[in-house]
Structure 1
Amino acid sequence: MVDSGLLSLPKPRLGWFGASAALALLAVLGTAAAWRWWRRSRPRGQLRLKRVGTVSGLFIYPIKSCRGVAVERAEVTKLGLRSGDMSDRCWLVIKEDGHMVTARQEPQLVLISVTGENGGLTLSAPEMSDLHIPVRPPTENPVHNCRLFGTDIQGKDCGEEAAQWITAFLKSEPYRLVHFDPNMVPRNSKDFFDTFQADDKIVYPDCSPVMVLSEASLGELNSRLEKKVQIRNFRPNILVTGCSPYEEDTWNDIVIGDVEMKGKMGCPRCIFTTIDPDTGIMDRKEPLETLKSYRLCDPSEQRIYKSHPLFGWYFGIDKTGTLRVGDLVYKITW
């Protein structure tokens, strides 16, 4: 490991056969697909890596819009982070007609805490008794067709007790809790933004399996705010320290531990960021208005981001593996 930040290792020379094979592959797969195949096929020792930061936090959000769980170690799958029985955004609150319910509609969802152990989840919320449910709902439970941002995905019902618990806490119309079973078909990130590749898959996240944010970016934003905000307002999966504000925007390809990820696009922010994570109250103004004052996209990218300010960066998973708090973050250079 090189503390200067730059790890320069020899690259192999392509012989005649290697060059010919690469050209043939380009013709068959197309430039982008062939490039990804060639990069993934190279041994780690043949990559040129520049140290850009250190992982200071890892977060999993088992139920979409509910509180996250800080972990010291996480497995990175193609669908996002996982730790023990908890997988990122693999549970979802829905209306009885299958439409998703998030904190945009029910801000107090952010007050529901989730823990996982011994094959079950425990849900906790203010003035509610804890609820214990199995990680895998019983086989006989019905499967719902769920609707998220105009796309369909299945979810297995977690049962009447879970439905009644969530409905009682939110004091709402009848809601249900569903779980994504491994045999179900995930959604395609590319259906939402063409910056993603065809093999970028998600369950119930908005559009990406992983979001990265730096402590420096949060600190810079807070320097502009009268009332400071928390990292919980922005719900990253990976928090990084030791870099400059918004430097994560420039990390096209990164290596952390034995995981490789590719930057896809900025994270467009909405009124969710204005929900106080301690009270569940949405004020609809800050920090969103301040972000809009200086974090709007370049005019050439308005077709992607429209009027949403950017804060954090979305990544796709090129190589699965394991992350730990304290891992160094390297940017792949060419």
Structure 2
Amino acid sequence: MILTKWLTSRRVDLLLGGSVTVAAVSGLVSWGVGSGWARWVTIIHALAGLSLLALAPFKLRGSVRTGLRRRRVTRWLSVLMGVLVLATVVLGILHATGLWHGVGYWSALWTHFLLAALLAPLVVWHIASRPGRPRVADLDRRTLIGGGAAVAAAGLAYGVQQLVVGDNRRFTGSHEIASFNPAEMPTTMWLNDRSPRVPVSDWELTIAGEPMALEALHARAAPLQADLDCTGGWWSRQSWDAVSLAELMPPVDAPTLEVTSLTGYSRLFPARDAGNLHLAVGYNGEPLRRGHGAPVRLVAPGRRGFWWVKWVSRIDPIDRPWWLQLPFPLE
């Protein structure tokens, strides 16, 4: 084949490095963004991942076969990296098609993300340890044609995948689960967060330094339909019994609102977004369940699930810029 002759080991490594980089960056962005433009980032992520599969045969025919013949001890690290790459891409496909959602807390998407994180240092080591590293001169017409062919093959595979999936996926790639059925909505926690066991009668909520009675929230709550889009790979639409923060907050000059959970988990929001942030005390006319944030949680339409702070205990106006925080909390 012409492509086999054109795509030398260095050219293949250059294309693989580009695909891995695009897949990693687009994956993180699509994982964290809940607005409509995330659809295009999700498509780019899919094309980058499927391009790795399209380029894999050229990698196997070239440097992989040569490297295994040399019988270096480090060849097993390279084999491990290849296995992890394959497993990561396959898990992504299984999640995207809905053929496998995972087991319990470990969804296919979470496992996909975990394997990608484990891959990062191996990819850096693999590139740094190669004697024949890709050069700028390798980015020539033949490389671009080969890369275009890989992307075209990825695009064809993505089109077939979308025919299989249908309309079940949201633009973030998440699958719909238990809409308007809160009893079946999954219960998930962010990293090491834990559900507090404090009686509702002892719950203390303060807004801008002033105590707020939960009874007052229940009295003012009104139905609000909003989609909770979890980074575990699912989304669910519920009718939340909620009150807008714009109705609860006094006039403040601070640029940022800090919403804090009783667990210590917190997120920062622009104060100007108070009208699109809500405190929910129930859904579909029934109280929240403890695993879903009872007795009061934040509802933040247009943001991914880790912004929807559970078990809210404080909302404080602060002077710190809202963007001065980790994009993905580590608590």
Higher share in strand: 1
Which of 1 and 2 has greater Rg?
2
